[in-house]
Chains A and B, each alone.
Chain A
Amino acid sequence: MSAPTCSKCHSRQSVIYRPYSGERLCPTCFKDSLRERVQTTINRYRMLDHWSRVAVAVSGGKDSLTLLQILKEIEDESHGSELIAVTVDEGIKGYRDEALGIVERACRGMGVEWRLVSFRDLFDASMDEIASRERSLGACSFCGVLRRRALNEAAKSVNADRLATGHTLDDMAQSALLNLLRGDIGKMASLEPGGYASPGFVRRIKPICEVPERETAFYAYLRGFELQSTPCPYAGEAMRGDARSFLNEMEAKRPGTLFTTYNTALRLIPVSTAVEAMKRCKVCGEPSVGDICRVCQLVEKNTG
Chain B
Amino acid sequence: MRVRVRLLGSLRQPGAPKEANFEMAQGDRVSNLMKSIIREHPGLADVLDGVGNLVMLNGIEIGNLEGLETALSEDAEVVFVPVTHGGR
> Least Cβ distance of A59 to chain B in Å?
9
CB-based contact A24/B64 at 8 Å: yes
CB-based contact A217/B83 at 8 Å: yes
Q: Which chain A positions have C-beta within 8 A of B57? A: 1
* Partner-binding segment picked from B4-12, B20-28, B31-39: B4-12
Residues of B in contact (CB 8 Å), total 29
CB-based contact A241/B9 at 8 Å: no
Does B78 sit at the interface, judged by CB under 8 A?
A: no
What is the CA–CA distance of A299 and B70 in the complex, to the nearest angstrom? Answer: 52
> Least Cβ distance of B83 to chain A in Å?
5
> Least Cβ distance of B2 to chain A in Å?
17
CB-based contact B86/A245 at 8 Å: no
Q: Name which of A1, A14, A15, A228 has the most chain B CB atoms within 10 A of its CB.
A: A1
Contacts A217-B54, A241-B88, A244-B84: A15 and B60 contacting too (C-beta < 8 A)? yes
CB-based contact A17/B83 at 8 Å: no
Contact with A along B45-84 (1 / 0, CB 8 A): 0000001101011111101111000110100000101111
Contacts A214-B54, A249-B51: A227 and B9 contacting too (C-beta < 8 A)? yes
Which residue of A1, A16, A24, A248 contacts B73 across the interface (Cβ within 8 Å)?
Answer: A1
What is the CA–CA distance of A235 and B86 in the complex, to the nearest angstrom? Answer: 7
CB-based contact B51/A252 at 8 Å: yes
What is the CA–CA distance of A1 and B75 in the complex, to the nearest angstrom? Answer: 13
> Least Cβ distance of B77 to chain A in Å?
13
Residues of B within 8 A of A (CB): 8-10, 12, 51-52, 54, 56-61, 63-66, 70-71, 73, 79, 81-88
Q: Which 10 A-B pairs have the closest CB atoms?
A: A231-B86, A227-B9, A17-B64, A235-B86, A217-B83, A16-B61, A17-B63, A15-B60, A221-B81, A3-B60
